[in-house]
Amino acid sequence: MRTGKRFLQSSVDATVEIQKLGAAFTEFRRTHKPGTRIPGALRAQVARALGQGVPGSRIQKVCRLSWIQIKKMRSAGVAQRPMPRQPPRVLSVLDEEVRRPAPSEVVEIGIGAWRVSVSRAA
């Protein structure tokens, strides 16, 4: 049996988190009709609780959610993690000395004020 300080603190944190989550869902269910879509903030709160180690079965009982709702909220929480931002890549530019392709060899894409031309380099 784990009785360390760290376990006790995380267990207390999980209990506090599940109590907050239960209160939020009780308020939501009191003010909305059955079948109303659960707001993103509540779904994010469930994903955060799952990430903190609160068992899905406990959330399911306290918040009256189905296991499939818990599963979807868990996967949505994983999908919404911010991706590390990578610096933009700069593509090399061909010199003017390179043979210009015939107009039929060029593909040009226009997007708003931007125009992108793609041609095969020989």
Give the model confidence (pLDDT) of 4-55 as tens digits.
Answer: 444 444 566 778 888 888 899 999 989 989 888 888 888 888 888 888 788 8
pLDDT tens sequence across 75-99: 876 555 566 777 777 666 655 555 5
Burial of residue 46 (CB within 10 Å: 0-12, 13-18, 19+) is buried
At residue 66, does pLDDT exceed 70? yes
Q: Is the dihedral of CA 49, 52, 58, 60 positive or negative?
A: positive
Asked if residue 52 lies in contact with residue 13, where contact means CB atoms within 8 angstroms, the answer is yes
Give the start-end residues of each E strand in the chain.
Answer: 106-111, 114-119
CA angle 14, 83, 10 (to 5 degrees): 15
Neighbours of 69 (CB within 10 A): 17
Instruction: Quote the pLDDT of residue 27.
Output: 92
Instruction: Quote the pLDDT of residue 5.
Output: 46
Instruction: Quote the pLDDT of residue 41.
Output: 86
Q: Which residue has the higher pLDDT, 122 or 33?
A: 33
Asked if residue 119 lies in contact with residue 107, where contact means CB atoms within 8 angstroms, the answer is yes
Instruction: Quote the pLDDT of residue 76.
Output: 74
